[in-house]
């Protein structure tokens, strides 16, 4: 599968959820103190993302 979420530790030792497409990072979350919190961020994105409005700023 080309799209996936990956939870990694950053240099500060925090857990970050990254969304990747063909190994390229498309976006990432803030750092979290636990892996569970990073998983919760992914669940929130999956739940709320599809219905989120798109705002175009010029």
Q: What is the pTM of this model?
A: 0.84
- pLDDT at residue number 10: 96
- pLDDT at residue number 2: 87
User: Angle 6-54-20 (CA atoms, 0-180°, nearest 5)?
Assistant: 15
Instruction: State the chain's mean pLDDT as an integer.
Output: 95
What kind of architecture, by CATH, is found in domain 3-48? 2-Layer Sandwich (3.30)
Q: In 5-25, which positions are buried (b, 16+ CB within 10 angstroms) versus exposed (e)?
A: bebeeeeeebbbbbbeeeeee
Tokens 């990956």 appear where?
6
Whether the predicted pLDDT of 1 surpasses 80 = no
The helix or strand, by DSSP H or E, that contains position 9, with its residue range, turns out to be strand 3-9
Q: What is the pLDDT of residues 41-53, one digit of tens each?
A: 999 999 999 999 9
């Amino acid at each position: 599968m080309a799209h996936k979420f990956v939870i990694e530790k950053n240099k500060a030792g925090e857990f970050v959820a990254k969304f990747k497409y063909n190994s390229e990072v498309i976006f990432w979350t803030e750092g979290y103190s636990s892996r569970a919190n990073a998983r919760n961020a992914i669940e929130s994105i999956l739940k709320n993302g599809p219905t989120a409005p798109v705002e175009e700023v010029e």
